[in-house]
Amino acid sequence: MINQNKIIVISSLFYLILISIFNISCIDNKNITTAKDYSDLLSLFKDFRILQVLPKKGNIPDYSYDSMNIQYEKLKSFQKKLALIDTSGWPIKDQVDYYLVKAEMNGLDFYHRVLRPWSRDPCFYSIRPGMTDPFEIEGVLPNHELFPLSNDDLIKLVGKLNKVPHIYSQAINNLVDPAKDLAKLSIHFTKEDVKLLDDLSKKIKLYHPEILTEVNNAKNSVQNYLDWLIKNEPSFNLPAGLGDDDYNWWLKHVHLVPYTITEIMDRIEMEDIRLYTMLKLEENRNKDLPKLKPVTSYPEYRKLVRGAVDHLMSFINSNKIFTIKENLDIEKYWAARKSAFRTGNDEMGVPDYFSYYVQREPIPHEAHEGLGHDFEWQRLENDDREIRGIRRLFFIEWIRDEGWAFSLEELLMHAGVLDNRPNRGREIVYEQALFRNCRALMDLKMHKKILTLEEAMAFCVECAPHSEYLDDSHHLWYEARTTLRIPGWHMGMVLGKIQIMNLFRDRAKQLGDDFNLQQFLDQFISTGFIPISLIRWEMTGLKNEIKLLNR
């Protein structure tokens, strides 16, 4: 599951750039000439990133038709200029950077041509941005444990609250072709938003009554949006799923995945077969062992999870799995992790699906979130490479990010991390993996337009182990929203794991007896937060996948 500390904030990458994007219009296509230097790519990339900064309207980015049309027209000039950069003779690592820049431009193109979240996705407008933050608010709601708020926090809260009416005013004006299932998701979550703002108003009335007007104005604007959605939802008839052609284009040209949606579905079905087989063998092996019992208190939960974190760190170091450099600090992860302790509850106070497992054996979850995600974001903070050393736009790093974190759950088990721990913990690895497969298939079936949102959620419940913890849960709604709004999110988690295992094989065959696990993973990690097809090319020199992408 996605940790809130890793919320992807696309817009905030650029807000410090204090120049007007409209100056970019001075690029004259007639004066574009062929360029051959890496510095030309870097200069173009920096200018392209400025293009992401939209003009402000009501102190928030303007996603109106006119504003977005201006951005799209300028994008075409950038694409033409990029196409004239000659990379022949460049080392592979520099060619990889070229592919990254091209993928980001393709991503913006796809957002304008197909996704158009500002005009077709009602979830785009929210006080809880989830995986995106297009209005640069990083969520409105303060942590309830922080009350009474400091003066600085109070000023920040008022600033955010004052943006909310402008956000929802844009929503009603901009949503000209909403997708029906995205509207259903938005209604569900906007109802939660109203409740959360009600709760906030009670806190504010108690601690900071001087800003109650701002809270009520925000709440009223959200309620008005909810009423508008409910009234108009019956007339929304457009599909939310992309269909095969658009999904394939998104994967190939933006995420540099050398497989089609049909090929991916076949791979995930094969992975499902493997996981079920392994789980049943493990269950038979453990049939005479007692069931794992969950912890029953906050202190027990904290102790269990901290013990898992310490065990993982010791295991990685002593077994030389990969190098943990000095600039990686597990205490940064722990500080964020323990601040979210509610014995596994989510932001609505409801037990999270994964808490069923974490309360019994937290090693797989902590490997995923701590060694997988958190360490990767720490590495990125220390990466000074000007193109690949910053966060990608349009979730281009997502398959690498989630595939790596997901891989660690099972790969570390096979490496021995669960040895000398209760053996039924191995079943948890397979059950969590099966649930991720269910989400991947839900993703694919919705975007192939085989299943509607409601049908896909029912499929996921029927498919998942321990589905009693999933049915109509906040967690299920959250995951459905993520994968329908960001095509391929859950598919990418499973595919990324498969791609990493493919890379294991390719590199092991190349090196034979000289293959060294720590060296292999260190090299994999050092290539950066980029698509795995590019990592494979850079690590092995094998170009067959790149040729598929260029067809």
Q: Is 179 helix (H, G, I), strand (E, B) or coil?
A: strand
Instruction: Tell me the three state secondary structure of residue 240.
Output: coil
| Alpha-carbon gap, residue 387 to 549, rounded angstroms | 21
Mean pLDDT of the chain: 91
The pLDDT of residue 469 is 86
**What pLDDT, on a 0 to 100 scale, did the predictor assign at position 27?**
46
Phi, psi of 179 (to 5 degrees): -80, 140
Cβ–Cβ < 8 Å for 428, 364: yes
Count of residues in the chain: 551
Residues 417, 410: Cα–Cα separation, whole Å:
10
pLDDT confidence bin for 210, thresholds 50/70/90 = very high
Q: How confident is the model at residue 19 (pLDDT cuts 50, 70, 90)?
A: very low
DSSP one-letter code for 373: I
pLDDT at 339: 57
Q: What whole-number distance in Å separates Cα of residue 246 and Cα of residue 74? A: 23
What's the angle, vertex CA 512, arms to CA 509 and CA 513, rounded to 5? Answer: 155
Question: Quick one: average pLDDT of 61-78?
Answer: 97
Residue 22 clears pLDDT 50, i.e. is over it: no
| 484 pLDDT higher than 90 | yes
Contact 521, 322 (CB under 8 A): yes
Q: Residue 149: is its pLDDT beyond 50? A: yes
Tell me what the mean pLDDT of segment 374-388 comes to: 96
Alpha helices (runs of H) in 512-543, residue ranges in sequence order: 517-526, 532-540
More confident of the two residues 344 and 521: 521
* Residue recorded with tokens 């809260």: 157
pLDDT at position 471 is 87
Which residue ranges make up each domain of the chain? 4-115, 122-235, 245-549
- 3-state SS assignment for residue 121: coil
Percent of the chain with pLDDT strictly greater than 70 = 91
Calculate what percentage of the chain has a pLDDT beyond 90.
82
Average pLDDT over residues 333-339: 79
Question: Which residues lie across from 411 on neighbouring strands?
Answer: none
> Each residue of 20-52: b (16+ CB within 10 Å) or e?
ebeebeeeeeeeeeebeebebbeebbebbbebb
Q: What is the pLDDT of residue 140?
A: 86
Instruction: State the average pLDDT over residues 169-191.
Output: 97
Beta bridge partners of 238: 179
b (16+ CB within 10 A) / e for 142-163: beeeeeebeeeebebbeebbbb
Work out the pLDDT band at 7, boundaries 50, 70, 90.
very low
State the amino acid at position 228 in one-letter form. W
Against a cut of 0.75, is the pTM above it?
yes
